[in-house]
Amino acid sequence: MTKTISFILNGDEISCDIQDHWTLLHLLREELGLIGTKEGCGNGECGACTVIVDQLAVNSCLYLAADIQGKQVQTIEGLAVHTGSLHPIQQSFVDNGGIQCGFCTPGMIMSAKALLDKDPEADQEAVKHALAGNICRCTGYVQILDSVAAAGRQMAGKKTDKAAGYGDPGPVTRQPGDQTAGEVTP
C-alpha cells in the first residue's frame, strides 16, 4: 500500500510516497538517490547502512521507511553540505587512515557521530561499543578508533588526548573476526 510521509532529511523537510514494505535504506538509496549509505549484508549484521534517526544510530536496512514519519534523519550526505567543508569526523578519517576501500566508512562515521554528538569526550571503550556493529574488512580497526578519537578531541576543543583517556591507548581488544591491516578474509 502506498502512503505519504513527511520527515526531516539532512535538515530539509520533505514529503514522499512510500510503500509499506520499503526499508529506510531502500527509500534513501533507490528512491531519493542518497547512495552514500551503503548496503552490505541487508540484515543488520554489518553496519554499512547506518544512519542517524532522532540522534540514534540505526541500521537503515532494518528500519521501516514508514516509521520515519515526523522524525529527523541524517545521512552521510548531510554532514558536509551546509558547511562546505568536511565534518571533523570525515576529515579525521582522511587524516588518520581510517579509510581504505571506504565501503564501511559512511556507516562508521554515522555511528561515531551519534556518539560524539552526545559525548565528544567519549573514552575508548565507549567508542568501541558505539562502533561494535560496524564491520570493516580493510583497516584492522586501529586507524578507525584513532580517527574517532581525534575527531572527538577536535569536537571537544581539546589539543591533547589525555582528558578523553586516549593518552595511552594500550592494546586494542580484538573481537572474533577482527582483522589487522592487510589481512584478507575470503
Give backbone dihedrals phi and psi of 72, rounded to 5 degrees, phi first.
-105, 125
Angle made by CA atoms 146, 152, 158, in degrees to the nearest 5: 110
Q: Measured from the CB atom, is 87 or 164 closer to ligand FES? A: 87
58 touches ligand FES by CB under 6 A? no
Q: Which three cell numbers stand for residue 163?
A: 582528558
Q: How far is the CB of 122 from ligand FES (least distance, A)?
A: 21
65 touches ligand FES by CB under 6 A? no
131 touches ligand FES by CB under 6 A? no
94 touches ligand FES by CB under 6 A? no
Contact 126, 119 (CB under 8 A): yes
71 touches ligand FES by CB under 6 A? no
136 touches ligand FES by CB under 6 A? yes
Give backbone dihedrals phi and psi of 95, rounded to 5 degrees, phi first.
-70, -30
User: Which of residues 10, 72, 91, 100 is near ligand FES by CB under 6 A?
Assistant: 100
Site residues for ligand FES, 139-168, by CB under 6 A, read: 139
Residues contacting 132, CB < 8 A, separation 6+: 175
Q: Measured from the CB atom, is 30 or 45 closer to ligand FES? A: 45
Q: Which three cell numbers stand for residue 2?
A: 502506498
Q: How many helices (H) and strands (E) does the chain have?
A: 5, 5
User: Which of residues 22, 71, 119, 137 is near ligand FES by CB under 6 A?
Assistant: 137
Q: Which helix (H) or strand (E) holds 6?
A: strand 2-9
Q: Which residues bind ligand FES (CB under 6 A)?
A: 39-42, 44-49, 59, 61, 99-105, 136-139
